C-alpha cells in the first residue's frame, strides 16, 4: 500500500480512539472525531483507487456514488456516513445546536461500522481495526 492510504487509515483509527476518549468531556468533539474516523477511512479506500478529494461534500457524494449506488455498501451504511457529516457540522459549528451524549455514542458506533466496512473492502490493506 502506498504512503497516503496507509497514513489515512492510521488517522482513521486514531480519530476513532480519540472519539472514544473525549466522549466523557465533550459530545460535540466526540461526534466530530467519529466523523473524521469515517472520513479518513473512506478517503484511504478512495486513495487506493487514485481518487483524492478536497471537500467534505465531495467525499459524501463519492460514498453514495461509488460505494452505495454500485452495491458495495448498503444504503444504510451510506446514510450513516451522511448522518456523521451532519453531526460533525453541529459539533464543530453549531452555535445553539449541540450533539447529545447519546448521539455522540451513536456516531462512534457508526464510525466503527464504517471502518469495518472499509476494511472488508480491502482486508489486505486495512488491518489493525480491533486496536481502535
Q: How far apart are CA 34 and CA 49, in angstroms?
A: 23
pLDDT tens digits along 37-54 = 999 999 999 999 999 998
The answer to whether residue 132 scores a pLDDT higher than 70 is no
pLDDT tens digits along 96-118 = 889 999 999 999 999 999 999 99
Helix axes 3-22, 27-48, angle to 10 degrees: 160
Going by pLDDT thresholds of 50, 70 and 90, the confidence category of residue 1 is: low
Q: How far apart are CA 63 and CA 67, in angstroms?
A: 5
Closest to 16 measured CA to CA, from 107, 120, 121, 118: 107
Going by pLDDT thresholds of 50, 70 and 90, the confidence category of residue 95 is: confident
Going from N- to C-terminal start, the domains of the chain cover 3-131
DSSP 8-state symbol, 98 = -
Task: Take residue 17 and report the three cell numbers written for it.
Answer: 480512539
CATH topology of domain 3-131: 1.20.120
Q: How far apart are CA 105 and CA 30, in angstroms?
A: 8
Closest to 126 measured CA to CA, from 9, 47, 2, 16: 9
Amino acid at each position: 500500500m502506498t504512503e497516503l492510504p496507509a497514513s489515512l487509515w492510521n488517522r482513521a483509527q486514531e480519530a476513532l480512539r480519540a472519539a472514544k476518549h473525549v466522549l466523557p468531556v465533550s459530545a460535540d468533539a466526540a461526534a466530530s472525531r467519529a466523523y473524521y474516523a469515517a472520513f479518513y477511512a473512506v478517503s484511504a479506500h478512495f486513495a487506493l483507487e487514485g481518487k483524492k478529494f478536497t471537500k467534505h461534500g465531495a467525499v459524501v457524494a463519492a460514498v453514495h456514488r461509488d460505494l452505495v449506488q454500485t452495491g458495495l455498501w448498503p444504503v444504510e451504511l451510506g446514510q450513516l456516513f451522511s448522518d456523521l457529516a451532519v453531526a460533525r457540522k453541529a459539533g464543530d459549528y453549531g452555535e445553539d445546536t449541540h450533539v447529545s451524549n447519546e448521539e455522540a455514542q451513536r456516531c462512534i458506533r457508526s464510525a466503527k461500522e464504517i471502518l469495518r466496512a472499509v476494511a472488508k473492502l480491502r482486508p489486505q490493506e486495512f488491518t489493525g481495526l480491533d486496536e481502535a
